[in-house]
Structure 1
Amino acid sequence: MTDTIDKIKQLSESYFEDVLSIRRHLHSHPELSFQEHKTADFIEQQLRDMGITDFERKAETGITFLLKGKEDNGKVVAMRADIDALPITEANEVPYKSKNEGVMHACGHDVHTSSLLGAVRILKELKDHYSGTVKVVFQPGEEKLPGGASLMIKEGVLENPKPHRMLGQHVMPLIPAGKVGFRKGMYMASADEIYFTVKGKGGHAAMPENAIDPVLITSHIIVALQQIVSRNCSPKIPSVLSFGKVEANGATNVIPNEVKVQGTFRTYDEEWRADAHQRMTKMAEGIAESMGATCEFQVMKGYPHLKNHPEYTAANIQAAKAYLGDENVQEIDMWLAGEDFAYYSQEVDACFYRLGTRNEEKGIVSGVHTPTFDIDESALKIGMGLFAWLTMAELNNG
């Protein structure tokens, strides 16, 4: 084991400049979800340069292929990286700043993609050090519903062969570069979008008796909907219902005809999730009707909750400690953000872990989805090396 780890670390050092160059190219040329055509072409060229030509496209801009170890032991481990960027204008003044105005790799998918390409190089070179099959998945559209993972699954990415384990990693600016974080069991929440419109009757604010005030009615609905979580959900199930956008378009003396509201609902239990959708719809429509208005209530169902297989994640924690040292492997808390890797975790024993990218001395502290997000690029060494090691360790386990 020690010999293999040493070889992986040596290769991670050797390939670092190449992977750094790949990351910077991707960061400079970001593409939005499901528009990653040049990104996919770039990935394919990188694979050809490695001598890999038997890849195939799925979901238009997704790419998948197999790597074989020294023998077939019946095991298949999948490795996934997402490739899309966000509609954010980059504020960083760096040589690799985004060249596509209004588009930025602000969630680290350039890191995920370059790390996976580095891991592929390592696994290809060290194929005599593991048995079994690696299924490599470059996935589009993580940032946009319905999620590229769902489309890749529909197009058979988890078949022929079906992986028995699946591994994903994601940058974490709260964790210092050089460290990683894991959580067994429930990790990330389902993420649904809520849209509703309350239609009443507008009029002069000084004569409310002649109007059906949708602002007042909307206020009652927003407050009442919070009771869905506080009085219908078990306190043992984390749930969040938040509203972030309310549009009335009236004035100080104008009651508008309608009010539009947008929000999000997140939880960790699929049965309760479905029940909550029905309860929210019924309550909102009922309150509006009782006050003389109507409510058009829509739930746009998003990603399911992400669960890390306990035994598989525990094995990865031990493997990560062997690679990085106990002090560099952290246990992390539940996080109610959404991630479409969750679709894979519903189908396959999966582990989704966090790659530390923070460096306070360099001022690299910004969170994901912000214009100033960046990483300590030394994290790419662990990004590729640990990714490869965890996959090899699982294939050789037992």
Structure 2
Amino acid sequence: MTGSESAAAQRWAGDWAGGALLREALAAELPGAVALRRELHAQPCLSGEEGPTLKRVLEALPGAQLEYVAETGAVLRIGGPGPAVAVRGELDALPISERTGVPWAAVNGAMHACGHDVHLAAVVALAGALSRVQAAKPLVVVLQPREESYPSGALDVVRSGALERHQVAAMVGAHVQPVLDSGVVSCTPGAVNASSDEFEVIVTGAEGHAAYPHLTRDPVVAMAQVIVAAQQLVSRAADPMVPTVVTFGTVNAGTAPNAVPGEAVARGTLRTMSETWREALHDRFTQVVRDVARAHGCAAEVRIVRGEPVLVNDSALAVRTGELLRHAGRTVTEELRSCGADDFAYYGAIAPSLMMFVGVDTAAGLHSPEFLPGDDDVAAVAEALLAGYLTAAG
């Protein structure tokens, strides 16, 4: 081990040892957090309807300075004045009917199929621990609505100005991730999630009888060619070193098998790990759609709804938090990047931010009706958030 590596190891060991009281306090909070997780899981609320979830989480949090934001969200502060470290918990669930079979499964047609119940419980455990122990910096808890839908709850939180009012100097988040082995934590510097924008393509032709195609302008054929041509943006227009996704998720046209319809409509998503290419991708996609439709005697309209930007982890936060977790005995990887998206990305415009991914032991993937992290995963996420807090507060 070199001298610099040795000094760094001693510093990380000191940080973790210095957080011993916090770790003991966190352990004391975990039984209540697990019970809360099950309660939240059984009573999920959809995006924009998170009021009951917010109320229950606020009841579980220690008394603190409270500000309501983003319609059904809140920001609260634990600790005194000065720069603070913020953590995020997502309030909303998905419109999925649960099929886990556990006694505390949701039965209202909504489901915490993305782990938000685990995240919220972990945030509550961390907040409770910090309220017990005099911490290095205040903690700001962001209870965010609408992570799963537009308009983005994170963007509304940012626009509210609450983070600036609380002098947030760093933002920390952790998300369960079944593609990682249980307990493994990803602390990856740089871009870790893609931007995500939704599109709608409307191709207009000339309807007519299916037996006389020469008298029509078939928007279905044109749309089929649009879908194929758009894929070449990935293979021939995008830099091979920049991940890019063009996905058509829905295609609708016509009402009768023996008639050429007048219109075809498709919807999908554009994703990339580069903000610069993101803008060019929008332009190239629009140009390709219009030109291909025109080549088939049709016209095309393209509408793009901007979603989350690229999620970029602060390198210093990621590296040091990873080393802190390694010292605590966790297996840490810096390899996980995906074209998934998370509106946590918006917080990076306010302060250095870090999104970690925590492996969970479940065969089902995110957004599956059978997705069910274990109760122990509350502790794993809480420990990751504590490491992020200690790094940012140091």
Q: Structure 2 length normalisation: TM-score?
A: 0.91
Q: Which residue of 2 aligns with 1:20?
A: 34
Q: 1:301 and 1:350 mapped to 2: Cα distance? A: 21
Partner of 2:125: 118
Preserved CA contact (<8 Å) 1:320 1:386: yes
1 CA distance for matches of 2:229 and 2:195? 22
**Does the CA contact (< 8 Å) of 1:5 and 1:323 recur in 2?**
no
Amino acid corresponding to residue 352 of structure 2 in structure 1: D
Q: What's 1:259 paired with? A: 264
Residue equivalent to 2:337: 334
List aligned pairs for 1:122-271, cutoff 5 A: 122-127=129-134, 130-271=135-276
SS of equivalent residue, structure 1 residue 176: coil
Note if 1:78 corresponds to 2:86. Answer: yes
Q: What residue in structure 2 maps to residue 272 of structure 1?
A: 277
Partner of 2:367: 369
Amino acid of the residue matched to residue 295 of structure 1? A
Distance 1:60 1:252, change over 3 A: closer
- Range that drifts further, 7-16 or 60-69: 7-16
Contact 1:85/1:106, CA 8 A, preserved across alignment: yes
Work out the CA distance in 2 between the residues paired with 1:393 and 1:280: 42
Offset of residue 53 of structure 1: 4.0
Point out the more displaced range, 113-122 or 277-286.
Answer: 277-286
Q: Who is 2:73 aligned against? A: 62
- Residue 177 of structure 1 contacts residue 378 of structure 1 at CA under 8 Å; is this kept in 2? no
How far apart are residue 291 of structure 1 and its match? 2.6
Give the secondary structure class of the aligned counterpart of 1:63.
strand
1:38-91 Cα shifts (integer Å, max 9, x gaps): 0111122112xx3x142111012111122226xx6x542111111100000001
Query: Aligned runs of 1:34-73 on 2, under 5 Å?
Result: 34-47=48-61, 50=62, 52-68=63-79
Alignment check: 8 A CA contact 2:83 2:167 kept: no
Does 2:46 correspond to 1:32? yes
Q: Which of these residues, 308, 311, 319, is aligned with residue 314 of structure 1? A: 319
Deviation at 1:347, TM superposition (A): 3.1
Output the amino acid matched with 1:84.
D
Q: Secondary structure at the match of 1:55?
A: strand
Tell me the SS of whatever aligns to 2:180: strand
Cα distance in 1 for residues equivalent to 2:64 and 2:315: 35
Aligned to 1:98, which of 97, 101, 106?
Answer: 106
Aligned twin of 2:309: 304
- Give 1:36's aligned amino acid: E
2:321·2:387 contact (CA, 8 Å) conserved in 1? no
Q: How many percent identity over aligned positions?
A: 32
- Give the direction of change, closer, same or farther, for the CA distance of 1:216–1:210 in structure 2 (3 Å limit): same
Give the Cα–Cα distance (whole angstroms) in 1 for the partners of residues 329 and 333 of structure 2.
Answer: 11
Counterpart Cα distance in 2 of 1:219 and 1:379: 44
Q: In 2, Cα distance between the equivalents of 1:203 and 1:387? A: 61
Q: Distance in 2 between matches of 1:240 and 1:357?
A: 26
Distance, in Å, in 1 between the alignment partners of 2:193 and 2:271 is 9
SS of the aligned residue for 2:168 comes to coil
For residue 271 of structure 1, report the CA deviation from its aligned partner. 2.0
Distance 1:182 1:65 in 2: 26
Q: Secondary structure of the residue that 1:303 maps to in structure 2?
A: coil
* Cα deviation 1:110-156 (Å, max 9, x = unaligned): 111111000001111122xx322222111111000121000001111
Alpha-carbon distance in structure 2 between the residues aligned to 1:324 and 1:156: 38
Deviations 1:345-382 (A, max 9, x none): 23321110012221xxxxx3111101000012112122
1:380 matches 2:375 = no
- Larger mean Cα displacement after TM superposition, 14-23 or 336-345: 14-23
Quick check: 1:185–1:308 contact (8 Å CA) kept in 2? Answer: yes
Distance in 2 (CA, whole Å) between partners of 1:277 and 1:10 is 50
Q: Name the CA distance, whole Å, in 2 between partners of 1:142 and 1:226.
A: 28
Structure 2: runs of 5 or more not aligned:
1-13
CA distance in 1, matches of 2:387, 2:274: 32
Amino acid corresponding to residue 381 of structure 2 in structure 1: G
Please report the TM-score for the alignment, with normalisation by the length of structure 1.
Answer: 0.90
State the AA in 2 paired with 1:318: E
CA contact (8 A) 2:317 2:354 kept: yes
1:177/1:376 contact within 8 Å kept? no
Root mean square deviation, CA, Å: 1.8
SS of residue in 2 equivalent to 1:261: strand
Q: Is the 8 A contact 2:64 2:77 kept in 1?
A: no
- Match for 1:93: what amino acid? G
Paired residue secondary structure (2:278): helix
| Distance of 2:163 and 2:83 partners within structure 1 | 13
**Letter paired with 2:102:** V
Gaps of 5+ in 1: 359-363
